[in-house]
Chain A
Amino acid sequence: MTNNDVQLMTAAADTIAINRNELAERLHTDRNFDSPLLQKCQDRLLRTADYRCVYIRTPVDLQQENVCDFGFMTIPSRHLYRNLTGCQEAFVMAVTAGMAVDRLLLRLNVISQAEHFMTDALASAAIESFCNAVSEKLKVGLDCAPRFSPGYGDVSITFQQPLLQRLNAYELLGITLNTAYLMTPVKSITAIMGIRCNHLS
């Protein structure tokens, strides 16, 4: 592990507040939908998951138009460049729900498609919530750009690799990439969040 400046954050499962709108969208229901089985799936998921985040605060150089230079990686992108306008620094982060959730999903895939479908939706909504909570915490006292992930817009998903490597995400979160640059554990998110200068609130 070569990068000593990476910060680690964890969250107890009971602090994860799943956003009901987000969940309803993934379940294809309205936001009031509930069932004992959904509750059972939620309890089991939160018992299983291990929410962790790693992040760094790093300078970003935007001198060349449509090129975002983070020092450890240079991303040519119109979309990210626009997103980072006015920023000289950024948070670069990765969050995950851990490998046990992948195993749970594999198991439910065999036992019950209903539970698998619900748990998958819950897990997606929960990791979004965790990522939001982390972002909110980092933002305190700062003016930040909206989160941006490799794979959005014109940013190639291949930037997952230098990003994860810089964050020691393998050692600290157990995140690996497959040949299509998709992450395992599957409920993981990487993101860049620009910090706008001269906007200290």
Chain B
Amino acid sequence: MKSIVDLIKEKRVYFDGGTGTVLQGMGLPAGQSPERWNIEQPEKIIALHKAYLDAGCNIIKTNTFGLNREKFPDYQALIRAGIACAKEAVKGREEAYIAYDMGPTGRLLEPLGDLPFEEAVSIFADNVRTAAECGADLVLIETMNDSYETKAAVLAVRENSDLPVFVTNVYDAGGKLMTGADPAAMVALLESLGVDALGMNCSLGPDKMLSIMDTFRQYASVPVIVNPNAGLPEVRDGQTVYTIDEEEFSDYMVQLAEKGASVLGGCCGTTPAFIEKTIAKTRNLPYACPEEKPFTLVSSYTHAVVIDKDPVLIGERINPTGKPKLKEALRSGDLNYVLNEAIRQTEAGAHILDVNAGLPEIDETEMMLRCVTAIQSVTDAPLQIDSTKPETLAAAMRVYNGKPLVNSVNGTEESMNAVLPIVQKYGGGLIALTIDENGIPDTAAERAEIAEKIIERAAQYGIKKKDIIVDPLALTISSNPESAVITLESVRLIRQLGVKTSLGISNISFGLPQRELITSTFYANALHNGLNCAIMNPFSKAMMNTYYTFRALNGLDTGCVDYINYASAQSNTPERSSAPAAEGSLHSSIVKGLKDEAVQYARSLLAELPPLEVINGHIVPALNEIGAAFEQKKAYLPQLLMSAEAASASFEEVKKLIPADKADSSKAIVLATVKGDIHDIGKNIVKVLMESYGFTVYDLGRDVPPEMVLQCALEHECKLVGLSALMTTTVPAMAETIELLHRTDPTICTMVGGAVLNQEYADMIGADFYGADAMDSVRFAERFYHSAAE
């Protein structure tokens, strides 16, 4: 029998329809797992399959949707029995294929849920190995709500079998997965992982799938599967019915076939009659397998970015080179700084964020994994994974939720041999640098030659030209005056090879004063020469000016809408140096919790007063005032928090003027929500207040094991530890942490707080101090360091 993948190249093929619907008709009670019938009533499962095969379908789904080791101890036996039923049903039939049907685990992956990515892969892998042993013809990963879990399932199939893999996701009426991905994002992700067909099932009727099909048709290069429900379930006269009958269903399926769907079938509410009608009406429609689409796509867990004529901005700020603050943040594991940079860059207009965690003194792979996961929890911009180490690239690409850009491969044998297999496996847009064993060539023609070499070699690994973005390298004009001219010519030549281009724009002005002037003019030139992507600083006004004006001048901004929005936002933003309103003060803006105003006042005060005087004469008295008002119940917690943030923002301004080695790090505290507890609001409130009072806070986050708290306290020689717990069930973990700290170093002082605690509890678990609220904790910490100083 021909492989199913080859069959789809020639003709439209058909899945079966609903399983639960038919089995409930055979007497399966609601709420009972249908998979049990694989062993208990196999004859009914075989009858189900045969009914669909008789209706004319080519592919039957095994009755194994919900099976995995987490839910069913005997999952392997049930999978085997399920496949045995399918085999019995296809006996003696031609063009009848068995799809091992694999549904979601039912758990949500980290960081939003608690299922680690690799555990998800491992759960699916167990299923796939069993299915492959039993002789399934393909794997259908279906009813997936989440792009990340879908990726885990596809990797599990790819790593544990040679079976073709089909994937269908559940889209809502808005055309998105429950966790946010749109069809273009799923096409980018799934094609980069090498699936053989993709599409949608469940949730919607065929009518609601028509518009989603349009997007699939636009972007997908592999066959598209459509397995809709029979409309939506409704209760009529006490009976559940689906809103679309087989006649209407099959009429819509004709439209879906005409829109280019290659594989048609059904899901909930559909029966053999639906499939039979669908086949009858679509069998003779003209058929063509989708052609290769030209788009260069990268994606996140929500959307795809198309790299084409419209310039793409890649934010360069998460790269420690030349950024002392980021270096410090990476060294100390302060992801909050990294996350802030990520959010601010996307707010400034970056489409993609470069992430580089390379510092000689840290474990780059581990830090890269932490950064990628954490950044993906706070922003939906696609990421460019940037490392010189292939093992770091591979690890990050594996856990990335989407199709990343990969920075980079170059023309050396070593680089191509190491990086290309990784991109082949995990998929991604690939940045290719025009450098080889002889260095960076001096001429554009030679740079283009290296690009050609990489393109050819990548093709041997199945990496398509459309997924290669060549960076012909901008070198500073301060050392070679011809540098910009050569780079621009290289961009033109390389475009002719049919690939996209990217440049690290800022390099061009290295070593020169007022770099923005040169950089932004060079960017404009590069855009006019057809540059697609720029790795750049989205906080640079000059660069953003160039970006928006170029788009407006080149017909890329219909009605100049984006330009007008940008320009009006510019005219509303005060210049950094502008003086704040005369009637207010730093003190009053902190008390009122007005962050932006407080920063302006702090800047103007700092022009006149020494930094310490701004802290002691203005910031601290304002905080004390609001703190006292809170204690006297004249101000509320939200106001206290707003004031603390205004104070912290002012404090940051002061810190810019204090050399790092003179900064007062004597007041420090380790903060953590204890193991087993995932609530961190209380701890975060304490953190903000502590920071506003100038404390250095080592924030370990939530669900922190006792050993990690101890390690942090010892590492930073910090004698003050604050622990938080919200649930009674996690108070023992708090006691355990305190015991470990005191046993190791009796001079460590522990303060505790949280909704379930009181003084009595705190005494019982051996805490040194119980903070009834955040202000109470700050006062204690101040006293602690005050008495230590004495």
Contact = CB atoms under 8 A, between A and B. Distances in A.
A116 B679 CA distance: 13
Contact of B377 (A1, A2, A7, A106): A106
Interface stretch (A77-85, A127-135, A164-172, A190-198): A164-172
A4 B378 contact: no
Nearest to B636: A29
Interface in A59-92: 71-72
Contacts of A8: 232
Interface string B371-397: 000000111100000000000000000
A106 B235 contact: no
A146 interface: no
A17 interface: no
Interface string B312-348: 0000000000000000000000001001100100000
Nearest to A10: B173
Contact of A170 (B104, B242, B269, B687): B104
Nearest to B635: A29
B637 A110 contact: no
A29 B638 CA distance: 8
A17 to B, nearest CB: 21
Contacts of A4: 20-21, 24, 30, 233, 240, 242, 268-269
Interface stretch (B106-114, B468-476, B575-583): B106-114
Contact of A117 (B21, B24, B28, B685): B685
Interface in B237-284: 240, 242, 267-269
B179 interface: yes
Query: Which of A6, A113, A165, A166 is packed against the most chain B CB atoms within 10 Å?
Result: A113
B642 interface: yes
B688 interface: yes
Interface in B638-657: 638-639, 641-642, 644-645
Interface string B29-51: 11111100000000000000000
Contacts of B29: 71
A174 B21 contact: no
Contacts of B637: 27-29, 117
Contacts of A184: 108, 112-113
Nearest to B109: A176
Contact of A5 (B108, B233, B377, B636): B233
B31 A112 contact: no
Interface in B346-384: 377-380
A174 B240 CA distance: 22
A103 B377 contact: yes
Interface string A107-120: 10111111011101
Chain A: number of interface residues, binned into ranges: 35 or more
A38 interface: yes
A168 to B, nearest CB: 9
B638 A1 contact: no
B107 A176 contact: yes
A165 B31 contact: yes
Interface residues of B, number: 62
Given A99-B180, A171-B203, A6 B638 contact: no
A118 B203 contact: no
Contacts of A117: 637-638, 641, 681, 684-685
Interface in B86-121: 104, 106-108, 111-115
A3 interface: yes
Contacts of B678: 180, 182
B694 interface: no
Contacts of A35: 593, 638-639, 642
A110 B31 contact: no
Contacts of B235: 5, 7
B62 interface: no
Contacts of A28: 636-638
Given A3-B31, A4-B233, A5-B30, A174 B178 contact: yes
A6 B636 contact: no
Contacts of B30: 2-5, 72, 166
Interface in B136-179: 143, 145-146, 170, 178-179
A132 to B, nearest CB: 23
A33 B642 CA distance: 14
A15 interface: no
B202 interface: yes
A6 B111 CA distance: 29
A102 B638 CA distance: 20
Contact of B645 (A103, A114, A172, A182): A114
B233 A99 contact: no
Most buried by A among B112, B170, B178, B644: B178
A173 to B, nearest CB: 8
A6 B113 CA distance: 25
Interface string B180-214: 10000000000000000000001100000000000
B636 A113 contact: no
Nearest to B35: A2
Interface in B1-55: 20-21, 23-24, 28-34
Contacts of A113: 641, 644-645, 684-685, 687-688
Most central of B232, B269, B378 by chain A CB within 10 Å: B378
Given A27-B636, A110-B339, A171 B170 contact: yes
12 contacts: A1-B20, A1-B202, A103-B377, A106-B112, A107-B379, A113-B684, A116-B684, A170-B104, A176-B107, A178-B107, A178-B115, A180-B676
**A-B CB proximity, top 9 nearest:** A174-B178, A72-B31, A2-B20, A114-B641, A178-B114, A176-B108, A29-B636, A113-B688, A110-B339
Given A99-B180, A113-B641, 9 more contacts: A4-B242, A106-B377, A107-B379, A113-B645, A114-B593, A117-B684, A173-B178, A178-B108, A180-B676
